[in-house]
Structure 1
Amino acid sequence: MPRHSRLCPARPRRARRFPALALPCAAALMAATPSLAETQGWSVHAFGLKVGELRLTVSENATSYTGSGGFRTTGLAGVLRRIRFSVSARGRISQGSYRPITYDGSIDTGRRVSETRLEYSGTLPVKVAGAQDPATPIPEADLRGAHDPMTLMWQVLQDQDAKTLCQLSQTQYDGTRLVRITLTSRSNDGDSVTCSGTYDRIGGYSAEELAEMKTSPISVTYRNTGATWRATQLRVKTRHGSATLYRQD
């Protein structure tokens, strides 16, 4: 195995040089940290039937992450109406917090295909591609700090620890609409915990859309696996009815 004596000397000649020498050593160690990849499969049910499948793949290390997800209708739902969407994102991780850099989203309803791209300027998501405009303008101040759909989906569905379980309150921007997802109420049932909250529509919606449904209940159930809590079920109410996602992997 080659020795990296120039990058990280084992015996610096002078102790006072240690801080300067430690920086490249630390950088080398961080660069060598392997990304932990995870793939999740979910079945999506509505009206008592399975209507689709969702799949996520995310790789992350101590300082960065990349992820992608895709949904498609299946079975009878896929025959009646073919719907597909795909999302991807990448960003940084700083002190355990996600900092998105770019996001790409595409949806194919069978009749129409739309694509959106966001690039982040600090904490501000900026739409650089996508034809659809918000029904009402969204103030820039409200957009700051909002995460993209892929990043927030991963925050909800990834394994949780005691510090993050039922502690989520985060805005999300998809290039057209701004929402806030809150999961802060907790109920215990044996080795499972259900985090409940709301999906609040707060920007980019028309008055008619908000009158129809401004807030929806949402809940995620996590099962204890020893060191972490694993998401196994998600429930959400939409304008078209209730939907439930079940973990398959």
Structure 2
Amino acid sequence: MPRLSLLMSAVALALATALPAAAQSLDAQYALSLRGVTGGTIAIRGRTSGGSYSVSAAAKATGLVGSLVKYAFEGSAEGRVSGGRYTSSVYREREDDDGERTGSVTRFRGTTPSSVTFDPPRPPRPYDIDPTAQRGVIDPLTALYAILQPVAPGNACGQRYELFDGRHVSRMSLGAARAASDGTITCTGEYRRLRGYSAEELAERPTVVLTFTYAPIGAGQVQISEIRSSTKLGNAVLRRK
């Protein structure tokens, strides 16, 4: 079972824009299913107030997948919001992958990572990238928090962002919005691995095609209700409980 950033690549996580500066919070749970079988859950809590935000999340394998693979993730992120744009300041993650416990802390200066610390220390790989050489990136948990916020229909879809999880840089892009008569909005997106991956990882599946669905929630806003992705094992779906 992959780390949060790779769960994102499988089910699609991206950023929404133009969020209000007033205090707002999010407390939600999402189910991840594969070929109709529940395989995991993601719980997220966050708050934005006074131009700052903080968010925490927990993910774990459940159901049939949970009986075969023991996996759990906990993460937190903090940063600033200005003009509807998020800027990470610190991102922490810890995961338990079948008994192997690892963690990391990534700190940012603006949109550039300033340091990454691994616990336990991680030996270097030949394909590693210099965190401080990356520009215009945001951490994956901040992206998760942002995409799950309500937005005006005109701010759904049509976005592109680069993510850094402490090891990898990836790009999430959403195409043009398609509105339906029932008020839902869909768009096709793409997750692309960019840097910090092994040659095998890049060759195996460098891009993932995704479908985002926004549903009306009242007050002239829409919110992500479902994200779909095709995998080698069938359709993966992230859906709000």
The interval holding the TM-score normalised by the smaller chain is 0.7 to 0.9
**Residue of structure 2 equivalent to 1:42:** 30
Partner of 2:188: 196
Question: Bigger CA drift: 36-45 or 139-148?
Answer: 139-148
Match of 1:230 in 2: 223
- Report if aligned partners of 1:89, 1:100 keep a CA contact under 8 Å in 2: yes
User: For the Cα contact (< 8 Å) 2:116–2:131, is it kept in 1?
Assistant: no
Q: Specify whether residues 154 and 47 from structure 1 end up closer, same or farther in structure 2 by C-alpha distance, changes over 3 A only.
A: same
**Conservation of the 8 A alpha-carbon contact between 2:115 and 2:132:** no
Structure 2: how far apart are the matches of 1:115 and 1:240? 28
Matched AA of 2:221: T
The aligned counterpart of 2:158 is 167
Tell me if 1:52 matches 2:40: yes
Residues 1:156 and 1:36: Cα distance change in structure 2 (over 3 Å): closer
Q: Which deviates the most, 210-219 or 156-165?
A: 156-165
Paired position in structure 1 for 2:6? none
1:33-182 alignment, distance < 5 Å: 35-130=23-118, 131-132=121-122, 133=124, 136-138=127-129, 143-182=134-173
- CA shift in 2, pair 1:172/1:186, >3 Å: same
State the 4+ residue runs in structure 1 displaced beyond 6 angstroms. none
Q: Which amino acid aligns with 1:187?
A: R
- Counterpart for residue 21 of structure 1: none
Structure 1 gap ranges (5+)? 1-32
Q: What residue number does 1:213 align with?
A: 205
**Residues 201-225 of structure 1: per-residue CA shift (max 9 Å, x gap):** 0000111111111110122211122
The 1:137/1:74 distance shift into structure 2, 3 A limit, reads: closer
- Give how far 1:164 is off: 2.2
> 2-side partners of 1:188 and 1:165: how far apart?
10
Give the drift of 1:136: 1.5
C-alpha root-mean-square deviation of aligned residues, in Å? 2.1
Check conservation: 2:43, 2:59, Cα contact below 8 A. Answer: yes
Match in the other structure for 2:10: none
Per mean C-alpha deviation after superposition, the further-off stretch among 232-241 and 219-228 is: 232-241
Q: Alpha carbons of 1:144 and 1:185: their partners in 2 closer, same or farther (altered >3 Å)?
A: same
**Distance in 2 separating the partners of 1:134 and 1:242:** 32
- Identity rate, percent: 28
Give me the whole-angstrom Cα distance separating, in 1, the residues matched to 2:216 and 2:35: 29
Is the 2:73–2:96 contact (alpha carbons within 8 Å) kept by the matching residues of 1?
A: yes
> CA separation in 2, counterparts of 1:38 and 1:64?
14
> What secondary structure is seen at the aligned counterpart in 2 of 1:176?
coil
Q: Which residue of 2 aligns with 1:244?
A: 237
Rounded Cα–Cα distance in structure 2 between residues aligned with 1:100 and 1:78: 31
**Greater shift after overlay, 98-107 or 124-133?**
124-133
Q: Write the letter of the residue equivalent to 1:155.
A: A
Higher relative contact order (CA 8 A, sep 6+): 2
**Mapped contact 1:221–1:233 kept (Cα < 8 A):** yes
Q: TM-score w.r.t. structure 2 length? A: 0.82
Could you tell me how far apart the structure 2 residues matched to 1:143 and 1:106 are?
Answer: 22
Aligned counterparts of 1:107 and 1:128: Cα–Cα separation in 2: 16
Structure 2, gaps ≥5 residues long? 1-20
Read off the aligned partner of 2:202 and give its amino acid letter: L
SS at match of 2:177: strand
Measured at CA, do residues 59 and 213 of structure 1 come closer, stay the same or move farther in structure 2, by a change above 3 Å? same
* Cα 1:85/1:238, change in 2 over 3 Å: farther
Deviation at 1:161, TM superposition (A): 1.5
Change (3 A) 1:221 1:35: same
